[in-house]
Amino acid sequence: MTHPLFQSMTQQSAYDGKPAQLVELSNAAGVSVVLMDIGATWLSCRLPIADEERREIILGVARLADFERQQSYMGVTVGRYANRIANGRFNIHDHAYQLTTNQVGNTLHGGAFGFDKVRWRIRKQTSAKVVFSHESPDGDQGFPGNLTVMVTYQLTEDNRIEICYLANTDKATPVNLTNHAYFNLDGAESGADCRDQRLQVNADHYLPTTDLGIPLGELASVGGTGFDFRQPKVIRQDFFADSQQEGAKGYDHSYWFDPSRETSMAVAALSSHDQKVKMSVFTDKPAMQLYSGNWLAGTPNRSGGEYADYAGVALETQFLPDSPHHPEWDQPSCVLEPDQTYRYHTVYAFDF
């Protein structure tokens, strides 16, 4: 049976006068994933829980008008640069660049018209995999270089969503791609608070920021702070335990992973409050932004209502925020050169 989003999301034309194109991936276990070409967006992920329940576990919308209205980046592919760049400015090879700014004077998630808003081309499609591509022209949102991007989503038979990012440029440019899905493993439309889920993050350091989310510059140990998730704990256990959380209204910070780690080991794990679903995150990215949905109130949901704050948690694998200003950090350079290929993978693996 066709997913209802195929009808509800295509009743209205997108910004270019054409309807959105949707793709559904499925496996023998009964997992269903729906993706959309606008924003190369992850719209839905339904798991066949025991007792015949099909649980939707990512936040989303059912109408394109609501997708265009929401400002929470639900499920989208974020680019060219995920997270923040201070003042929208950076220098590469002694050349200064000014980006469009879209959050209190800074550039957030690629600028005013980032990759989350454009129509991507569907290059390849099967029942288990879809490949999206996008050509970002020189000067797009102020970024240098013609950038070619491909994002592949694949659903495996062992219930893993594998996301592969590829990019090439003809001029040095910062690149930092991620997916911005919000997870609520107790059910996206259940009204459950994501802070009641259990989280583990295998990182010894996080990045303190200003109240505007701009890094203060130095990584800090999670030891003795509410940012310590090295042992699994309920997200709300140490909520607002630190001044850093108070400034952000919760968790909205990046964790830095040891570069010598085995990338076959999970960097994070999330478990539902009812213990029926567990999700493990694997990545070769150097960092991950933990965002506890602190400003979700007013964001449209699938039923015609609105989500509340803390309705879902985002685990965004990426470079550290504002990396163009911090070459001293121990991570690969966020600047992609013409003779290089940007190639990273992230996996969300589900047990239920």
Active site residues: 180, 316
Which H/E stretch holds residue 271? strand 268-271
Q: Is 251 annotated as a binding residue?
A: no
Residue 252 marked as a ligand binder = yes
Q: To which residue do tokens 């704050």 refer? A: 309
On whether 94 is known to bind a ligand per the annotation, the reply is: no
CA proximity to 10, closest of 56, 52, 54, 43: 43
According to DSSP, the residues that pair with 167 across neighbouring strands are: 149, 342
Is 118:141 a contact under the CB 8 Å cutoff? no
Residue 79's nearest CA partner among 141, 37, 171 is: 141
CA–CA separation, 334 and 235 (whole Å)? 30
Does the annotation flag 181 for ligand binding? yes
**Residue 280 identity (one-letter amino acid):** S
182 annotated to bind ligand: yes
The 3-state secondary structure of 48-101, one letter per residue: EECCCEEEECECCCCCHHHHHHCCCCCCCEECCECCEEHHHEEEECCEEEECCC
> What would the two tokens of residue 126 be?
């099967």
Q: Tell me if 152 sits within 8 A of 130, measured CB to CB.
A: yes
Q: What is the DSSP letter of 326?
A: -
CA distance 28 to 243: 47
Parallel/antiparallel/unpaired status of strands 252-256 and 129-136: unpaired
Q: The dihedral of CA 224, 227, 232, 236: what is its sign?
A: positive
Cβ atoms of 119 and 135 closer than 8 Å = no
- Annotated ligand binding at 206? The verdict is no
Residues at the annotated binding site for beta-D-galactose? 83-84, 180-182, 252
